[in-house]
Amino acid sequence: MIKTLSKHIKGYVRDSVITPLFMILEVIMETIVPFVMSSMIDDGINKGDMNHILLTGSIMALCAVLGLFGGTMGGIFGARASAGFAKNLRQAMFENIQSFAFANIDKYSTAGLVTRMTTDVTNLQNAYQMLLRICFRAPVSLICAMTMTFIINAKLASVYLIAIIFLGIILAFLITKTYKYFNKVFEKYDELNASVQENVTSIRVVKAFVREEHEIKKFDKAAYNLYKLFVKAENAMVSVSPIMMLTVYGSIIAVSWLGANMIVGSELTTGELTSMLTYCMNILMSLMMLAFIFVMLTMSLASARRVAGVLNEKSILTNPQNPDYNVENGSIDFENVYFSYNKTAEKPVLSDINLSIKSGETIGIIGGTGSSKTSLVNLIGRLYDVNEGCVKVGGKDVRSYDLETLRNEVAVVLQNNVLFSGTILDNMRWGNENATDEECINACKLAFADDFIQSFPEKYNTKIEQGGTNVSGGQKQRLCIARALLKKPKILILDDSTSAVDTSTDAKIRKAFRDEIPNTTKIIISQRISSVENADRIVVMDDGIINAVGTHDELVKSCDIYNEIYSAQTSGSGDFDQKGEL
């Protein structure tokens, strides 16, 4: 985990090394000051030596300036190093998430990924800054100050030693207690983010179902849980403060009393006692800082684990050793394919699939919801890998192709497709970034999107809102089809992509496909018989297996499931669907 994270300091190694050096400079200066002060009191003030006072005063001023310089520079470089580290982490995570296969994405929740990229990385950034600044500063300060006190007076120094041991034990006890709470805090953050994320992205659905009350309650609960844990953790933390103060003042009183006795017995000078008292503060403050950084680091361990988890997550689908960059044609073969999303599942989602599709053929797929239609076509573009058997495109196993090449040739209009914020042209160019305006317009004409785009005041420069909320469902589907067409793929898969388009436009789109892109293999998944009845062949899916394959006429005669759907849709029993015109 540390190895994974430390790789991302790259580019900020210099800042990371310089920061502790400046911090150490600050500590050394801080340690020198009380020592010089003791000499100023004993040899300057007490003896009335003005020159000595001036000399020691100048040294002290110089030390203070140098200390300030060290502290400031340490702060600047520390901030740069930690902000750079966070930037690298976020970039690396984002890049890795982009490479995730669908199966990897299924593993993490969106909310979980968002928390990891925001809160967790911020925690690591703070922890890293602390590490660079305080982790070096505190032990060095502790050691320097302790050494100086022992040099000045070993007997008095032992009072500090006892105080350190006492405080150390108490702090260790509190740290273990707070760590437990802070660890839970981050789990609760996930819950909170899940609530925010889900709600804000689906605010329209929430409103449509009048679920605001319920969602507000859910959010309040998540926020309250977080509050409770924070209060508990902070309560444990604040109890450190009085104990610390008690120890500091106890030590000061003990040292003052013992010191005063020693001064009377001429074993100690006034200057020495003054510097001893200053060191007292240094020692106990650094101990406190150490405890604090310890809590901070253990707290960020949970974040570190979560961030490293995403960074180390390898895409399940990888390019083969010597990938094939050429997809010969649009033929598709399923050979004894078995597939399940969860490898340990009892029943596979797809069983014993054997299907051969010729290049340029139009295939309709029909079947009840959950009958694995989407799962079947997802295997063609290698969005998931099969468990058994193989899927071939252009006569070769999909696993032998370069992923990008394969996916450029297999365009899928997903069932739940989205548009991104930007103009219509921007969205089109997701399909092909080098497409000219002409090509974009042609694709839109083919998908029968040109008509309604022309009716917008800004035509192709109309801005699409995030998620495509300012176009209708059917318009959105047609834009998504046009976007896929721009790829000029060898295989075009429409997963229920015209469900919101009226039947006559749907028919026109299919006719345009047949006339304009005859060599592209077209797979049309639909719940509507009218959308598939003119396909060369229709595949009837039922609960993960192929129930029947054939033309419309054949299936009407021989396939019960198909016949059932057909008669339900043609009997006019409350369905607005008309029979297709083509």
Question: Rounded to the nearest whole angstrom, what is the least distance from the CB of residue 366 to Mg ion in the complex?
Answer: 12
Query: Among Mg ion, ligand ATP, none, what binds residue 370 when CB lies within 5 to 8 Å by partner kind?
Result: ligand ATP
Adjacent-strand bridge partners of 410 = 491
Segment interacting with Mg ion, rule: CB under 5 A, options 58-66, 93-101, 360-368, 408-416? 408-416
375 binds, among Mg ion, ligand ATP, none (CB under 5 to 8 A by kind): ligand ATP
CB of 104 to ligand ATP, least distance (A): 11
Query: Which CB atom, from 269 or from 372, has the smaller least distance to Mg ion?
Result: 372
What does 44 bind: ligand ATP, Mg ion, none (CB cut-off 5 to 8 Å by kind)? none
* Residue tagged 């982490």 (tokens): 89
Taking the least distance from each CB to Mg ion, the nearer of 413 and 441 is 413
Q: Are 414 and 383 in contact (CB under 8 A)?
A: no
In the complex, minimum distance from the CB of residue 374 to Mg ion, in angstroms, rounded to a whole number:
3
Nearest residue to ligand ATP by CB is 374
| Closest by CA position to 190, among listed 103, 303, 97, 298 | 303
From the list Mg ion, ligand ATP, none, which binds 366 (C-beta under 5 to 8 Å, kind-based)? none
Residue among 193 and 374 whose Cβ is closer to Mg ion? 374
Min CB(174)–ligand ATP separation in Å: 44
Which CB atom, from 88 or from 374, has the smaller least distance to Mg ion? Answer: 374
**Residue with smaller CB distance to ligand ATP, 26 or 496:** 496
CA distance 203 to 211: 10
How far is the C-alpha of 144 from the C-alpha of 27, rounded, in Å? 8
Q: Quick check: 199 binds Mg ion (CB under 5 A)?
A: no
CB 111 within 8 A of CB 326: no
Identity of the residue, 56 or 375, whose beta carbon is nearer to ligand ATP in the bound complex: 375
Taking the complex as a whole, the smallest distance from the CB of residue 330 to Mg ion amounts, in Å, to: 22
By beta-carbon proximity to ligand ATP, the closer residue of 269 and 374 is 374
Amino acid at 420: F
Q: Does 82 bind Mg ion (CB under 5 A)?
A: no
Beta bridge mates, 34:
none
CA 84 from centroid of its chain's CA atoms: 17
- Distance in Å, CB of 546 to ligand ATP, minimum: 12
Least Cβ distance, residue 494 to Mg ion (angstroms): 11
Q: Rounded distance, CA 299 to CA 128, Å?
A: 12
Q: Report d(CA 49, CA 44) in Å as an integer.
A: 5
- Give the residue, chosen from 374, 498, 521, 534, that forms a contact with Mg ion under the rule CB under 5 A: 374
- Which residues of the shown chain bind ligand ATP in the complex (CB under 6 A)? 106, 341, 349, 367, 369-375, 415
In the chain, the amino acid numbered 7 is K
Kindly state the smallest distance separating residue 540's Cβ from Mg ion, in Å. 15
Sign of CA dihedral 10, 14, 19, 24: positive
Among Mg ion, ligand ATP, none, the one that 468 touches (CB under a kind-dependent 5 to 8 A) is: none
CA dist., res. 167 & res. 71, Å (int): 26
As a dihedral over the C-alpha atoms of residue 89, residue 91, residue 93, residue 94, rounded to 10 degrees, the angle is 160
State in angstroms the smallest separation of the CB of 134 from ligand ATP.
Answer: 45
Total count of residues recorded for the chain = 582
Query: Pick from 274, 405, 415, 569: which binds Mg ion (CB under 5 A)?
Result: 415
Q: Which CB sits closer to ligand ATP, 262 or 539?
A: 539
Residue number of the CB closest to Mg ion reads: 374
CA dist 298 to 129, 308, 408, 559, Å? 14, 15, 46, 64
Q: How far apart are CA 285 and CA 282, in angstroms?
A: 5
Separation CA 384–CA 432 (nearest Å): 23
Between helix 121-152 and helix 154-201 the angle, nearest 10°, is 170
**Site of interaction with Mg ion (CB under 5 A):** 374, 415
